[in-house]
Amino acid sequence: MSTAVLSTIRHGLSRYDKSGLAIPALVLLIMAMLVVPLPPLVLDVLFTFNILVGLVVIMVAINTRRPLDFSSFPSVLLFATMLRLALNVASTRVILVHGHEGHASAGQVIAAFGEFVIGGNYLVGFIIFVILMIVNFVVVTKGAGRVSEVNARFTLDAMPGKQMAIDADLSAGVIDQAAARRRREELSQESDFFGSMDGASKFVSGDALAGLLILLINLVGGLAIGLGQHGMPLAEAARTYVLLTIGDGLVAQIPALFLSLATAIVVTRVTTAESMTEQAVSQLADPPALFIGAAILAVLGLVPGMPHAVFLTLAAAAAGTGLLLLRRREAAEGAAAAPPPPAAPKELDWDDVEQVDPIGLEIGFGLIPLVNPDTGGQLMARIKGVRKKLSSELGFLVSPVRIRDVLSLEPDTYHIVLHGVVRARGMAKAGRELAINPGTVYGRPDGVPTREPAFGLEAVWIDPAQRDAARTLGWTVVDAATAIATHMNKVLRDSAAELLSHDETQKLLDKLATRHPKLVEELVPGKLPLGVVTRTLQQLLAEGVPIRDMRSIAEGLLEAAPRSQDPQALVAMVRPRLGRMILQSLADGAEALQVMTLAPHVEQLLHDVLQQSPPGLPPVLEPGMAESLYGALHDSTRRMEAGGAAAVLVVSPPVRPWLAQAVRHRIPELTVLAYSEIPDDQAVRVVATVDADLRNPREAA
């Protein structure tokens, strides 16, 4: 049984390393001091150790550069306070039990401190000790407690603003995810630290009050025991117990004063890259202040009755120190102003080659207020919302947008940049709002005529005071930040395929592998390389198909991989699995999907052209035939949109890839579907048949 118990204890202790046993051992020591009588020699060692702890803590507090660098201070303060109070209890027991035996009965440390302070006069020693207690309790401890309370309140109040600043820097590309996570952790630690310091300051104030009460208990109790139990004369009892009481109180209050000062130093620190000593030396070393102080001391030293030697000597020392600092400052400024020696030309390396940002926004200096949160700028918040919305709709994380001001741009101009290339330009006016004509308006507000940057609609830049009047006339009013964000949303949506790279594809597969590991393991690299999967996803995005349903896409690719490695062919085989997602925005809740089809002879001709085209080359229509086809599709699209339905063209699967690519830029509002992409349970109503004269002009003649 004993072997099993020892084994269990050994297993429990093995969970702690040697450093992990220090705090439990300290707790046991404190509890033992509260209960077990200690001999004078042990008290001497523990009192000396207590003084050492106070000295170490105050030295660390002085040399610390940021309050968070000493984040364990509240816990250290708690244990140091408990150690000192336990020592007070142990020494009180010794003083009251063995005090009648003489000054050395409570240990040499207590006797030495008592004799040093009393100096032969018990009343003077008692008064000096009470003054020390008042300084600790009323001045240092109370001030530190108030500063801790204010710091905790201000830190908690500032947390939302600091978190928003971190999010804004992350959205603007100033910091990355790791830096944002580290800053959030520091912010959380800062709030926890100052909240803990607010409570820990109460330990210090309570300790000072407890020290005063213990002093009175020792003094009164010692006199009562000496006179009543041991029959000591009053003078001898007073001399013995006053010395022991003051020595005990002083040997405990010196470390208490150290900890109180350390608390005040930590909570009054201003976070900089310098320690308190470096700050004080650099900021107090002010030659004009030293010269003025020296002059005042010299004037006071010349007043009759003043100690002339002391005042004039210190005035001369202050003036000399100020002169020395002034010469050093002039020498440093001269060295800084001197032109640096010409450096040898640095050899170029890869650090000199800058990488372009995936997404960027260049703005003129007139649009800087839209970015600055301090002036009410909402552009970064709007762009963050655009990124979040696009990432949710497209199915992958859109890269952060790096915003920078470019002095070469016009003040109210901005550029949307993708991979270092300007993809769109626009103009916005900070402090004004954009009134957009939605199609039916009943007047025109006063302002600067322009075009809405995203869709080219008629618009007017107006003053914010005209907002309500413009809305009354039927105009849609948005602020400048929203207009820029809407433009960026359109550009990023149209260029979604370019925003997806191999890294994003790998992250999508890693995320899918957490739920379907076998599917991903078999697909990449078993059936398809990562590059082919990336180009397939890019093609889907280029055709306006979101890639949110990665499981269906991966299953489709796994099934199609044995038949083809061509991304175009893979897309054609994957799209039927995504039919419901494709139709979700086209059907718009209607019972039947309204579509148009090609006339039989038109579709047959396109089939023939595709079959006769050389392998690997896109089919080419004769220009006259192509214009006739595009014109007929354009007219049918306008008629369907005028009827309130989405323009959808349904063709046979072989024709769909080529025709969809051909009309993508000519008729962007037209969606081309294959018959196989429409689910069996989806009702379809053909509302138009596209017919065009696709004969060769020579045959028509």
Please report which confidence band the pLDDT of residue 196 belongs to, taking 50, 70 and 90 as the band edges.
Answer: low
Average pLDDT, the chain: 79
Structure tokens given for 659: 């025709």
- Tell me the HSE value of 208 on the side-chain side, using a 13 A CA sphere: 25
Q: Is the pLDDT assigned to residue 15 strictly greater than 60?
A: no
Helical ranges in 229-340 per DSSP H: 234-267, 276-284, 287-301, 308-337
CB 269 within 8 A of CB 63: no
The span from the CA of 243 to the CA of 674, in Å, is 103
Please measure the distance between the N-terminal and C-terminal CA atoms of the chain and give it in whole angstroms.
112
Please state the rounded mean pLDDT for residues 674-691: 89
* 399: nearest Cα among 358, 438, 356: 358
- Percent of all residues in the chain with a pLDDT value above 90, rounded to a whole number: 29
- Ramachandran category for residue 418: left, alpha or beta (phi over 0 → left; psi -120 to 50 → alpha): beta
Q: Mind listing the pLDDT tens digit for each residue in 612-645?
A: 877 766 777 788 888 888 899 999 999 988 888 8
Instruction: Tell me which of 147-151, 219-223, 487-491 is least confident.
Output: 147-151
Q: Is the pLDDT assigned to residue 699 strictly greater than 60?
A: no
Q: Mind listing the pLDDT tens digit for each residue in 510-519?
A: 999 999 999 9
The span from the CA of 366 to the CA of 618, in Å, is 47
Please report which confidence band the pLDDT of residue 142 belongs to, taking 50, 70 and 90 as the band edges.
Answer: low
Q: Mind listing the pLDDT tens digit for each residue in 87-117?
A: 777 777 777 777 666 656 666 777 776 666 6
Rg for the chain (alpha carbons), in Å? Answer: 41
Q: Is the pLDDT assigned to residue 686 strictly greater than 60?
A: yes
Position 534 scores a pLDDT of: 95
Into which CATH architecture does domain 359-495 fall? 3-Layer(aba) Sandwich (3.40)
Contacts of 440 (CB under 8 A, 6+ apart): 474
What is the CATH superfamily name and number for domain 500-579?
FHIPEP family, domain 3 (1.10.8.540)
Q: Is the pLDDT assigned to residue 376 strictly greater than 50?
A: yes
Of residues 375 and 610, more confidence is placed in 610
* 203: nearest Cα among 132, 150, 145, 261: 145
Please state the rounded mean pLDDT for residues 55-60: 80
Q: Is the pLDDT assigned to residue 50 strictly greater than 50?
A: yes
Query: Most distant CA pair in the chain: distance in Å?
Result: 143
Question: Is 588-701 in CATH node 3.40.50.12790?
Answer: yes
CB 144 within 8 A of CB 267: yes
Please report which confidence band the pLDDT of residue 501 belongs to, taking 50, 70 and 90 as the band edges.
Answer: very high
Please report which confidence band the pLDDT of residue 153 belongs to, taking 50, 70 and 90 as the band edges.
Answer: low
Instruction: Reduce the secondary structure of 115-152 to three states and give it as a string.
Output: HHHHCCCHHHHHHHHHHHHHHHHHHHHHHHHHHHHHHH
Q: Would you say the CATH fold of 500-579 matches that of 359-495?
A: no
Please report which confidence band the pLDDT of residue 283 belongs to, taking 50, 70 and 90 as the band edges.
Answer: low
Q: Is the pLDDT assigned to residue 372 strictly greater than 50?
A: yes
The span from the CA of 612 to the CA of 625, in Å, is 16
Q: Is the pLDDT assigned to residue 139 strictly greater than 80?
A: no
Please state the rounded mean pLDDT for residues 198-205: 64
Q: Which sequence spans correspond to the domains of the chain?
A: 45-137+203-275, 359-495, 500-579, 588-701
Please state the rounded mean pLDDT for residues 447-465: 93
Of residues 27 and 697, more confidence is placed in 27
Instruction: Tell me which of 353-357, 542-546, 695-699 is least confident.
Output: 695-699
Position 159 scores a pLDDT of: 66
- At residue 573, φ and ψ (nearest 5 deg) are -85, -20
Of residues 184 and 566, more confidence is placed in 566
Please state the rounded mean pLDDT for residues 216-235: 74
CB 435 within 8 A of CB 477: yes
Position 512 scores a pLDDT of: 93
Q: Is the pLDDT assigned to residue 497 strictly greater than 80?
A: yes
Please report which confidence band the pLDDT of residue 219 belongs to, taking 50, 70 and 90 as the band edges.
Answer: confident
Please report which confidence band the pLDDT of residue 193 belongs to, taking 50, 70 and 90 as the band edges.
Answer: low
The span from the CA of 606 to the CA of 559, in Å, is 28
CB 481 within 8 A of CB 377: yes
Can you tell me whether residue 433 is helix, strand or coil? Answer: strand
Instruction: Tell me which of 292-306, 357-371, 559-573 is least confident.
Output: 292-306
Can you tell me whether residue 363 is helix, strand or coil? Answer: strand
The span from the CA of 315 to the CA of 291, in Å, is 9
Cα of 392 vs its chain's centroid, Å: 22
Cα of 416 vs its chain's centroid, Å: 26
Contacts of 179 (CB under 8 A, 6+ apart): none
Q: Is the pLDDT assigned to residue 199 strictly greater than 70?
A: no
The span from the CA of 383 to the CA of 484, in Å, is 9
- According to the per-residue pLDDT averaged within each range, which of 15-24, 212-221, 422-431, 685-694 is highest? 422-431
Check whether the bond before 525 is cis (ω within 30° of 0): yes
Position 575 scores a pLDDT of: 92
Position 447 scores a pLDDT of: 92
Element of type H or E holding 393: helix 379-394
- DSSP code for 340: P
- With 0-12 / 13-18 / 19 or more C-beta atoms within 10 angstroms meaning exposed / middle / buried, residue 525 is exposed
Q: Mind listing the pLDDT tens digit for each residue in 246-273?
A: 777 777 777 777 777 777 777 666 555 5
Full strand arrangement of the beta sheet holding 421-427: 401-405, 359-363, 413-418, 421-427
Q: Is the pLDDT assigned to residue 321 strictly greater than 90?
A: no
Please state the rounded mean pLDDT for residues 130-136: 74
Please report which confidence band the pLDDT of residue 698 belongs to, taking 50, 70 and 90 as the band edges.
Answer: very low
Structure tokens given for 177: 């995810």
Please tell me the pTM assigned to this model.
0.54
